[in-house]
Structure 1
Amino acid sequence: MSGFKKFLMRGNLVELAVAVVVGALFSQLIQALVTDLVTPLVAAVTGGHQPDFSDYSFTLNGAHFPYGDFVNHLLSFLIVAAVVYWLVVLPMARFLSLFETKKKASEKKCPECLSDIPIAARRCAFCTAELPTVPVQGTPPA
């Protein structure tokens, strides 16, 4: 029983459980945003009626194919994906790019083998080519 208790109390499992709960709540929030704001906006742009394809179907050799519900779910997925992209992914990427530009370069390319090597390196660790020495800021030249 103690092994099961250790398994349940591991940090990864707790973090995963929190992520699932937050993800489910975020999904509900985005779905409500799409249902209550975006879909009526689409209806207003397309002439005042909300798109509903659930009655669309066709029959082939006596078999009935109700594809309209699939179209509704596909459109809902595309709208949710677009909303998440425009309201979450793009702003987060811009926010993270602010921190990326302030990072100081710590590596350079080897002119012989194009491997990434430390800036202060005098010899490439991959191809052992001698490199021109570039003084590192804060150290006196040799």
Structure 2
Amino acid sequence: MLRGFKNFLMRGDVIVVAVGLIVALALSTLIKAFTDNVINPVIASAQGGMSPGLGWQLGRPGNPATYLNIGAFISALIYFVVFMAVVYFLIVVPYKHIQARRGVTVFGDPTPAKTCPACVSEDLPEAATKCRYCGTAQV
């Protein structure tokens, strides 16, 4: 019974994706707090003075709707890079390792493909002698 449950979880389908999504959302909250409370103050202090962030006021002074906040964009960019690195190193790498031990290749390089000259489909295997879509003989 437990062996069947383990095999079910390691199949790489909806359950694995759901667990990965839950972990990613939890990590997202942690990384968002880091960028909001650590990175944003550092970026805002780069402009100095009483500015709300790194950027320029385009309209009436004091109107937050017309403030071009470059610091928020830089913070979002840092958030994205850190988030993707955490997802890769905490979810993808261990999953690849576990699946490799089971003899399954995941996230590998794509197989070489060629293009059919007649219908221009680009996903034919290199060894194909006939196009799977239009039936044209391949050279």
Structure 1 length-normalised TM: 0.49
Report 1 or 2 for greater relative contact order, CA contacts < 8 Å, sequence distance ≥ 6.
Answer: 2
The alignment's TM-score, normalised by the length of structure 2, stands at 0.50
